[in-house]
Structure 1
Amino acid sequence: MVQNQPLVSVIVPVYNVELYIEECLKSIIKQNYQMLQIIIVDDGSTDTSNQKVKTFLLDSRVQLIQQENKGLSSARNSGLKAAIGKYVLFVDSDDHIELTAVKELVNLMEEKQIDLIRFNGKAFLDGLNKPIKQNNYDFSHRLQEGKKYIQDRFKANRQTLASPVYLYMVKREILVKNALSFYEGILHEDELFTIQVFLNSNSMCYVNAFYYNRRYRENSIMTNQSPERLQQTFNSYQVIYKELRNLYLKNEYSKEQKKLIKREMVSIYSGLMTSSIKKSEKKQGLKKIKGINLIDKGYIYIKKVINIVK
């Protein structure tokens, strides 16, 4: 190992991914960057994921945390508590990353002296090598590559914000200093966590490189559209909306930062409005946040959409 290179903590939450975990971990272990702390958090898997993970423990950079099933947020938080690296990277256990990703990201973080770096990803369907034709993880039309975005220049622009945490490398100091963690017990926790990282970061850079490979598989959290899952998503968005409102009401944020929060609230509320749960349940749920309005003429949209469901 090159001892003067900064350590990177890679956090991998694991739950019943026996078909994919080996590909995921190999893509991390085989990086052309050696200074890694690979933290695997087994969130109570009931398949052979745990046994497969243990075969990687011969590598001294790999450590395994085992816990009862508490959900993705809890697993990521356990990883954050164990992290000691200068930088943090999240990789979901059914996905994989390109072998040059860490080195190139670290080099740019060090060169630009930034808190946060964002990169692209490719989505693909499980069992198929052909990527999905979409630009959900391609931000080249929104951001200028290599430009150092400083403070309010990116905080006020929601186009610079993408919620998936696996599309960022972040300086761990930002997370520790501001006591940032994932909200437990909800889905789509990235929607809340990432904006808090943005609010507490002073500089960001974008690299137009597709380092992350995002797998879409049947019955995963992201593709499950059962009535129960739709209701869980709706309930989670209610929580996220209320938490964003609490952030907005804090006096510590600038005008530009609050613009970012308000824009994210509009996005979350739109998600609530377009939910496919029963209309009666949607109305009842929206009433719970009916009184949470933003006193700002530029964002009366929220009040308008609330009136739609009266």
Structure 2
Amino acid sequence: MTKRNIYRLLLFIILIIIIDRSLGFLISNYSLKYRFDNRIGLLLKDSLNKDVFIIGSSRALNGYSPKVIEEETNFTCYNLAVSGSNVEFHETVLDLILSSKHKPKTIIYNLDDCATLMQFKGQIIYPFEQLYPYVENDKINKIVAEKMDKNLWTTKFSLTYKHNVNFISAVKYLRGGKEKPSFEINNIDKYGSNLMEGKAKGFEDMVFQNNNPYKFEKSYKPYQQSLENIINKCKSNNVKLILVNPPIFFTKNKGFLEEVSKICNNDAEIIDYAELFASNDYFYNHGHLNKKGAIEFSKQLSKALNKN
């Protein structure tokens, strides 16, 4: 190969690298700008120095008021719950919390009656899209690469390949700007919560369900393992863990809390508020509190936090 051809090859490689880096940077930048919910980003930047973190799925996102907890206790509080997420994702969120510079004093983990330990395919998932915009972080990138069966080494070499999961979000930003928050899912306030007014459509006159919509049977082993991991990680990091069974407007499952108690083995406190409210005034639907319910429930929870 002549020197001239070698120079052409080197120039071509340099050009490819420049294009890859530039395109990858733009995709990453635009996808971050597109997101309305940036709580994971704040956590990765060590911008959340809080005494108490709330983790869980939609019942935690919609049913707790950190503002009230701060007013009723001497603790700062923030909500990192994600709608529709499973206990495996909650373990990931806990890992990110514990790896930050500011470790909390307490973790409140919201239990979803039976759904914490049972698999509901398509309904309760590991929401990768919550992590995609932050793949520049090595830990997040590793998780995403493993879950999506991407070549980890290639993600380190090619910025475009690393951020390909964010391409659609980048395009959406260019077309319409920032993401419009969903009323029920990610209308996040400055405390990390999404409190909902009134009642959901069709639930205005809801009555108490004597028959539980779910029947707790055998726990799903990977979910059980993740719950065990959450308990053990809090214990080893000297972080108090409180497992909270929130208010619901249906008959709670027999055996669910007993199973949780066995897994817990006295390494975390379990508080059952399932039957706290007898009126539908406090509920958005049968499984979720509305803003009025979240405020009153958070006042009751604050009493337990003060005792601790």
Which protein shows a greater Rg? 2
- Larger relative contact order (CA 8 Å, sep ≥ 6): 2
TM-score normalized by the length of structure 1: 0.28
TM-score normalized by the length of structure 2: 0.28
Q: Which has the higher strand share?
A: 1
Q: Which has the higher helix share?
A: 2
